[in-house]
Amino acid sequence: MAKNGLKKELGLFDVFAISTGAMFSSGFFLLPGIASQYTGPSVFLAYLLAGLLIMPAMFSIAEISTALPRAGGAYFFLDRSLGPMMGTIGGLGTYFALMFKTSFAIIGIGAYAAIFWNVPVKAIAMLATLVFMALNLFSAKKTSILQNIFVIVLIAVLGTFIIVGLYNMLFAEADVSTAVKPHFTPFFTGGVEGLIVTAGFVFVSYLGLTQITSVAEEIKNPERNIPLGMLLSLVVTGVIYVLGVLIMVAVIDPAQLPNEMTPAAAAAKILFGWLPGNVGLYLMTAAAMAAFASTGNAGLLATSRYPFAMGRDKLLPPLLARVGKNGTPVFAILLTTGFILLFILILSEEGIVKLASTFQLIVFILINFSVIVFHKSNIDSYDPGYRSPFYPYMQIIGIIVSLVLIIYMGWMPILFCAVTMVVCYLWYQYKVKENVQREGAIFHWFALLGKYQYAELENEFIHIIKEKGLRQGDPFDETIIRARVSTVEREISFDELLERVARSFSTEMNFNKDALIEEFLSTSAIDPMLVIPEVSILYAKHKNITHPSLQIAMTPNGINKVIKKGETVFEDNIKIFFFLLNPAKEPKQQLRMLSRIIDIVERGHFCKEMLLFKSEREIKEYLLQNERFVTVRLLPDTVQAELVGKQLKEIRLPTDVLVALIERGDETFTPNGNTPLNENDVLTIIGEPKSIAQLFDKYVSGKLRMQKRSKENKL
């Protein structure tokens, strides 16, 4: 593994669990009582309003996360969109916001422990922090497994709490229903202003949505799992928040609720009075402990990735970017643990909440603006797998909403945030600026007005596209199968080869050859990524084609070609040429296809292996090589001999596989349903990994077992 790379270990349920676990803690088990002092019984509506108001930021975060799945989340987004100065401010702002929230959640462990034992709340919280630190140092995946267990227990208990609570409110005896009504009068004790203030106050309850972005680099298939996991998490937590807090208001004495630090436990004690002893109280306390543990655990996991990412980008000491033997950022975790211990020790619960919400609202303003910047920058390699709906109106609404909520937070948290931002700015100017030679996507927007842009940003985004791989539906396999492969034995110049390839494309597709040559020779910001020894990758786009087309030229003797990388110009002897032609309307698909070719070309001994192949089938199989294909030769006296003599359409294969190529003697061709299969034909089959594995086991592993048994019998 790379020295500062993170393992991709987290799936969809891990995303849901980290996000949900980070929200189900203080927001449900601690905040309802404190928050009710601002708006009274309508506090449950404040949770609904906060959930709706966070949606613009959630959509923006989901879009950028699928384009740039990198550790550091909001920091990385802001750095690459608005530049390293705003990245420093926004990154440290989000870092502190998440640490405040994590600190508040861990305090909850002590608060609920104090229900049963005479223990110091903050001492228990600090001990729990050290336990979570040890877990996070061990492994992100093992941390997420524990997280999943926490969340499953939590949802089961809270679901039971809500069902019992709603039954009591809606179907209980008349005297119970009558007793509940005074709890909702007066409904808005602080008017509309009180409701808005409360929505801003409980906004911190939904910050788990942002925590998932900071572990985006460790998520498998981020383009699907990040937006889907975030949406599922918001829906589930929103429903449980609103209904759960509604039940708390209905059963807890209105005079007691504003001062209640453990409102969920107090409500459970009343609702589960029919259970023997204090079983109901024990169940809710267990759920609370699971919630606080999941938030503390997930909070430390996600928050520690901010100094890790900033250290990797030289905005903080590089020591923080070091990864330990277990694949975790050790020093970043230790630093974050130290801060959380400090906040638990010196800050009040209400102060922590207001600071966390205000910091995060500022970051949400910047993130919503970042989406606009990325769109306006016209960077082709900004390639999100999910796009925010109603752009740019969604982002504008998000900016306005965040500004309004910040105003209602009060002057103290605003002043604290302002001072912190000034400190971050000074840190950047005097400690960081001279070590950072990059700018954000906003400079590409400025470039449209004739101003400076940072070309290396596109190269970095191409690297990210390469890591993400092809998107479902990208026709890479089909393009390789249809590709025209030729070997150039005699000595020709690069211009002659280009002329020949362009003529072939133009004849086949009926468009201007000279224009295509000009397109192949044009340069762009991604060209430095394509400079690979002995290989040349040329690409073009055309509006009159509907699918990608590829030609591969093999030149054993090599063709000299002038190469330019940045300011350096040199000549290289090229052995393998790729000419990729894409539909003009699919520029991002072209980048993904190019990235996949680069990934293949960067295999060890690529040119040597390619030039050793004797057939077109072998070349194409090598380029397709992954878990999605298998080769079957129809040999006599083997299990695959049953296929000989049949037409392709008569063979029963899994529905998600395709016989892409048949090699028959010296000929390689793409078959159709009426193609008969002959003895010694070599079939190249592509499809979904599970079905390919089944075919491998039947036709390849089976053949190997038969050969082994035959050899043993002869002995």
SS (H, E, C) 365-412: HHHHHHHHHHHHHCCCCCCCCCCCCCCCHHHHHHHHHHHHHHHHCCHH
- Residue 267 is predicted with a pLDDT of 87
Helix, strand, coil shares of the chain as percentages rounded to 5?
A: 65, 10, 25
Helix (H) or strand (E) holding 94: helix 84-113
- Say how many C-beta atoms besides its own lie within 10 A of residue 27's C-beta: 31
Among 516, 548, 30, CA closest to 257 = 30
Q: Which residues pair with 578 in a beta bridge?
A: 537, 552
| C-alpha–C-alpha distance, residues 228 and 55, integer Å | 13
Smallest CA-to-CA distance from 560 within 486, 493, 489 is with 493
User: How buried is residue 132: exposed, middle or buried, by Cβ count under 10 Å (0-12/13-18/19+)?
Assistant: buried
Structure tokens, 547? 């699918």
Calculate ∠ Cα 353-357-359, nearest 5°: 120
Check residues 566 and 208 and name the one with the higher pLDDT: 208
Tokens 């891990």 belong to residue = 14
Query: What CA–CA distance (Å, rounded) separates 250 from 351?
Result: 27
Instruction: Specify the higher pLDDT residue, 570 or 648.
Output: 648
3-state secondary structure 612-666: HCCCHHHHHHHHHCCCCEEEEECCCCCHHHHHCCCEHHHCCCCCCEEEEEEEECC
Summarize pLDDT for 127-152 with one digit per residue, the tens: 988 988 888 887 655 555 666 777 78
CATH 1.20.1740.10 fits 12-410, yes or no: yes
Please confirm whether the linkage preceding 317 is cis (ω < 30° from 0). no
pLDDT for position 464 = 78
Question: Angle of helix 222-251 relative to helix 12-23, nearest 10 degrees?
Answer: 30
- Per-residue model confidence (pLDDT) at position 450: 43
How many Cβ atoms from other residues are within 10 Å of residue 471's Cβ? 15
The CA distances from residue 532 to 525, 535, 545, 551, in Å, are: 16, 6, 28, 18
Give strand pairing partners of 633: 682
**Which H or E run includes 605?**
none
DSSP string for residues in 311-328: HHTTSS-GGGG---TTSS
CATH of the structural domain 626-714, one choice from 1.10.3720.10, 3.30.70.1450, 3.40.50.970, 3.30.750.24? 3.30.70.1450
**What pLDDT digit, counting tens, does each position of 265-302 carry?**
888 888 887 777 777 788 888 888 877 877 777 778 77
- The residue extents of the domains of the chain are 12-410, 472-619, 626-714
The stretch 225-234 carries a mean pLDDT of 89
Task: Provide the whole-model pTM.
Answer: 0.73
Convert the pLDDT of each residue in 499-550 to its tens digit. 999 999 998 888 888 999 999 998 777 777 788 899 999 999 988 888 999 9
**The domain 472-619 is classified under which CATH number: 3.40.930.10, 3.40.50.300, 3.30.1490.20, 3.40.50.150?**
3.40.930.10
Residue 303 near residue 214, CB atoms below 8 Å = yes
Q: Are 387 and 64 in contact (CB under 8 A)?
A: no
Q: How confident is the model at residue 6 (pLDDT cuts 50, 70, 90)?
A: low
List beta partners, residue 574: 559
Write out pLDDT tens, residues 444-461: 665 544 444 555 677 777
Measuring CA to CA, how many Å separate 146 from each of 23, 208, 291, 418, 662? 16, 17, 12, 37, 49
Give the tens place of pLDDT for each residue, 655-696: 888 898 899 988 888 898 899 999 999 999 988 888 888 888
Beta bridge partners of 538: 579
